[in-house]
């Protein structure tokens, strides 16, 4: 548990386990705490790094917002002294991860995105999310409205309750951060040219995002798309057994190929 002075803010991060570095980038409804089901499983094979995006959780913000997310990630990886990493991003975190991978493809051994268009293709639930933003007086209201667009609460009420409780750490998030996310656009060119291995993971009931991920798959030669049944947009939290297995097997496959 530590903070690093990065790009004018205090960025909170944690490091767990031993092995090749694996960085997990959280989504808009999450923070570092939401990876609690991933860390125990993945730290057996990897050095797992979690962090709070600026303005989320324990990280501070200076007004730059999402435009600085990828710069923050790059500075954190440099701060930790990693030459290259495995990288996984959920939803909003997928935009951060793709931005970093597109800018520094030689430093990403493999990339996994879940429930995210990666800032390359628009997600088709954007108008609904825009409506949720317009109706929400604060972040916690927005987070609840976002969850209610999915069947998560019905499928797993206890897990949904825990997800929302962990999200209390984000109560001071400025909603302008979320608006700024829609303005980000990533260029796939360098990543495709480098041949970076890519895994895309979608939840069966995440109907607003899955078409975008299918579209993204077509744009990346060799990219795999895995659909997780009985799960929606928060599949990493709903079906951690499946999600963890997909990440571990994918990254281990490319760990062996690097040897």
Q: Which residues pair with 4 in a beta bridge?
A: 11
Helix (H, G, I), strand (E, B) or coil at 25: strand
Q: Identify the pLDDT of residue 55.
A: 95
User: Which class for 77: exposed (0-12), middle (13-18), buried (19 or more C-beta within 10 A)?
Assistant: buried
Q: Identify the pLDDT of residue 44.
A: 95
Q: Identify the pLDDT of residue 175.
A: 83
Among the listed residues 37, 28, 32, the one whose alpha carbon sits nearest the alpha carbon of residue 15? 32
Q: Identify the pLDDT of residue 257.
A: 61
d(CA 259, CA 247): 19
Decide if 93 contacts 116 (C-beta within 8 A). yes
Structure tokens belonging to residue 97: 């991860």
Which 8-state DSSP code applies to residue 75?
H
**In which element (H, E) is residue 121 found?**
none
Decide if 50 contacts 32 (C-beta within 8 A). yes
Q: Identify the pLDDT of residue 194.
A: 96
| Half-sphere exposure at residue 97, Cβ-oriented, CA atoms within 13 angstroms | 33
Q: What is the mean pLDDT of each run of 10 residues along the chain (259 residues)?
A: 94 98 96 98 98 97 92 98 98 96 97 95 65 80 83 93 96 82 84 97 92 96 97 96 98 77
Q: Identify the pLDDT of residue 259.
A: 44
Q: Identify the pLDDT of residue 147.
A: 85
Among the listed residues 169, 146, 158, 140, the one whose alpha carbon sits nearest the alpha carbon of residue 59? 169
d(CA 147, CA 161): 11
Structure tokens belonging to residue 79: 């701060």
Q: Which residues pair with 114 in a beta bridge?
A: 90, 201
Among the listed residues 99, 125, 74, 72, the one whose alpha carbon sits nearest the alpha carbon of residue 184? 99
What the chain holds in terms of domains, given with CATH numbers, is 2-258 (3.40.50.1820)
pTM over 0.75: yes
Decide if 166 contacts 237 (C-beta within 8 A). no
Put residue 8 in one of left, alpha, beta given phi > 0 → left and psi -120 to 50 → alpha.
left
Among the listed residues 4, 52, 45, 3, the one whose alpha carbon sits nearest the alpha carbon of residue 22? 45
């Amino acid at each position: 548990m530590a903070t690093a002075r990065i790009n004018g803010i205090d960025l909170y991060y944690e490091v767990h386990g031993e092995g090749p570095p694996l960085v997990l980038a959280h989504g808009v409804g999450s923070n570092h705490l939401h990876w609690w089901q991933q860390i125990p499983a993945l730290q057996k094979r990897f050095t797992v790094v979690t962090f709070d995006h600026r303005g989320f959780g324990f990280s501070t913000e200076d007004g730059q917002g999402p435009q600085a997310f990828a710069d923050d990630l790059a500075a954190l990886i440099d701060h930790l002294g990693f030459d290259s990493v495995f990288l996984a991003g959920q939803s909003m975190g997928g935009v951060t991860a793709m931005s970093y991978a597109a800018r520094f493809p030689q430093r990403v051994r493999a990339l996994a995105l879940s429930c995210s268009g990666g800032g390359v293709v628009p997600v088709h639930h954007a108008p609904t999310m825009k409506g949720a933003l317009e109706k929400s007086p604060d972040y916690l209201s927005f987070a609840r409205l976002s969850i209610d667009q999915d069947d998560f609460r019905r499928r797993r009420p206890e897990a949904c309750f825990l997800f929302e409780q962990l999200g209390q750490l984000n109560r001071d998030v400025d909603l302008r951060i979320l608006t700024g996310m829609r303005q980000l656009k990533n260029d796939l060119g360098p990543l495709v040219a480098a041949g970076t291995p890519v895994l895309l993971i979608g939840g069966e009931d995440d109907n607003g995002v899955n078409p975008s991920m299918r579209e993204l798959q077509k744009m990346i030669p060799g990219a795999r798309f895995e659909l997780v049944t009985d799960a929606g947009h928060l599949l990493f939290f709903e079906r951690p057994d499946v999600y963890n297995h997909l990440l571990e097997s994918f990254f281990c496959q490319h760990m062996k190929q690097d040897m």
